[in-house]
């Protein structure tokens, strides 16, 4: 019993692992960003980024905060919203096209998607769709 308590105390008293230096944090963010961008419309999770970069969720948060002044969740959402925006500018306006594109990029709650889109770009997805498309005539 005493040996078990000593073991627990030693584990609790160990110093936390050293955090990467700023260049190390930059490398973590670069690797995470490259992976996220390589996935196209396939939504990437923070857990996947952690596995890919071999760091904990907390360390990934610290790295993103230090390097990009944001967190991985917001960054991943911005990538997806920008993907939707690019597609909306290239497609022919048709019924349901916004919902289809949003769903392809992992946005399932349409009203939440529209409000997040408007917050980031200052316009509704339907406004982007109508402005962006040029008819091939």
pLDDT of 29-46, one tens digit each? 999 999 999 998 888 999
Cβ proximity of 58 and 44 under 8 Å: no
Count: domains in the chain: 2
Asked if residue 75 belongs to a domain, the reply is: no
Asked if residue 7 belongs to a domain, the reply is: no
Residues 95 and 117 in one domain: yes
Q: Which helix (H) or strand (E) holds 31?
A: helix 22-38
- Condensed to tens digits (0 to 9), the pLDDT of residues 71-83 reads 999 999 999 999 9
Asked if residue 121 belongs to a domain, the reply is: yes
pLDDT confidence of residue 66: 94
Q: Is the pLDDT of residue 125 over 90?
A: yes
pLDDT confidence of residue 13: 54
Which two three-digit tokens encode residue 32?
């995470």
For the entire predicted model, the pTM comes to 0.76
Confidence of residue 11 (pLDDT cuts 50, 70, 90): low
For the CA atoms of the chain, what is the radius of gyration?
Answer: 21
Residues 6+ away with beta carbon under 8 Å from 114: 124, 125
Which two three-digit tokens encode residue 82?
């920008």
Asked if residue 88 belongs to a domain, the reply is: yes
Distances from the Cα of 104 to the Cαs of 98, 109, 134, in angstroms? 10, 12, 22
CATH number of the CATH domain containing 128: 1.10.10
Cβ proximity of 89 and 128 under 8 Å: yes
Asked if residue 137 belongs to a domain, the reply is: no
% pLDDT > 70, the chain: 81
pLDDT confidence of residue 129: 85
Q: Which domain holds residue 41?
A: 19-70
Residues 88 and 66 in one domain: no
Residues 65 and 92 in one domain: no
Last residue of a domain, one of 70, 96, 112: 70
**Average pLDDT, whole number, for the chain?**
86
**H-type helices in the chain, by residue range?**
2-13, 22-38, 46-53, 57-68, 72-88, 97-104, 110-121, 125-132
Cβ proximity of 87 and 101 under 8 Å: yes
């Amino acid at each position: 019993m005493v040996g078990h308590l000593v073991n627990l105390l030693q584990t609790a008293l160990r110093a936390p692992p050293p955090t990467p230096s700023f260049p190390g944090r930059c490398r973590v963010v670069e690797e995470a960003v490259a992976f996220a961008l390589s996935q196209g419309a396939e939504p990437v999770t923070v857990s996947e980024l952690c596995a890919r970069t071999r760091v904990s969720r907390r360390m990934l948060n610290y790295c993103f905060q230090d390097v990009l002044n944001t967190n991985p969740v917001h960054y991943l959402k911005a990538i997806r919203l920008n993907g939707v925006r690019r597609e909306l500018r290239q497609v022919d306006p048709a019924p349901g096209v916004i919902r289809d594109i949003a769903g392809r990029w992992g946005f399932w709650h349409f009203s939440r998607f529209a409000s997040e889109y408007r917050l980031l770009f200052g316009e509704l997805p339907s406004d982007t769709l109508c402005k962006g498309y040029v008819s091939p005539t």
